[in-house]
Amino acid sequence: MPFQQDNAWPAGLLTIFDHARAKHTAFENRYYGPYDKLLNYCFGDTFKFYIAPQSPPRDDSRDAVDFIVFLVVFDVATDRPVLMAEVKDHSWAQKAELRYRADKQMRDKYALMLDECPLPRLWGLSLLGTSMRVYCGDTTSFDVTPPLFRAPSRRRAFSRQTSSQESGSWTSCRMRVSPR
């Protein structure tokens, strides 16, 4: 279901996202709660799957500073990952360098988890505030799509408008309550 059809989401879930977006603070993981709630809503209460936050990178790693929240949905029967989601603040969607780092972190997680997935594909979501990029890793070929996000170059101008039209770029997800 496309996010643009926001009237299909429960009003309570939309309210949670509205509250997270309205926080104008430096609280970096303000989207953790809303996305945790969204994943729990999507996977239901059947106890076949569970959502678990993952440990941040080691403190001596450069990525530890960039790390916000990483959630993994596990299949209870196999205790193996079936979906992963990286959640960062919306400010990451504004700068090419930060989008590049978010893409690299997702690919690093794929390198660690792809061979553990019990399904033909391991899906991943890079969530920068309410902008989303969807990944798919093939567990046979170990290919990950979309293609690698190009590193920003100081020699070429980066147009945000152009980036939103590129294949596999982050797409804004509008989740708001529509008046009825």
- On whether the pTM is more than 0.85, the answer is no
Do residues 86 and 109 touch, judged by C-beta distance below 8 A? yes
For the chain, strand residue ranges (E) read: 49-53, 69-75, 80-88, 121-128, 131-138, 144-145, 171-172
**Helix (H), strand (E) at residue 112:** helix 96-113
Distance (Å, rounded) from C-alpha 179 to C-alpha 170? 27
Note down pLDDT in tens along the chain; length 180 residues. 444 455 678 888 888 888 888 876 655 678 888 888 888 888 887 888 888 887 665 545 544 445 456 788 998 899 999 999 998 888 888 888 999 999 999 999 999 999 999 999 999 999 988 888 999 999 999 999 998 877 776 554 444 433 443 445 666 554 433 333
Nearest to 168 by CA among 114, 110, 88, 106: 106
Write down the domain spans for the chain. 6-172
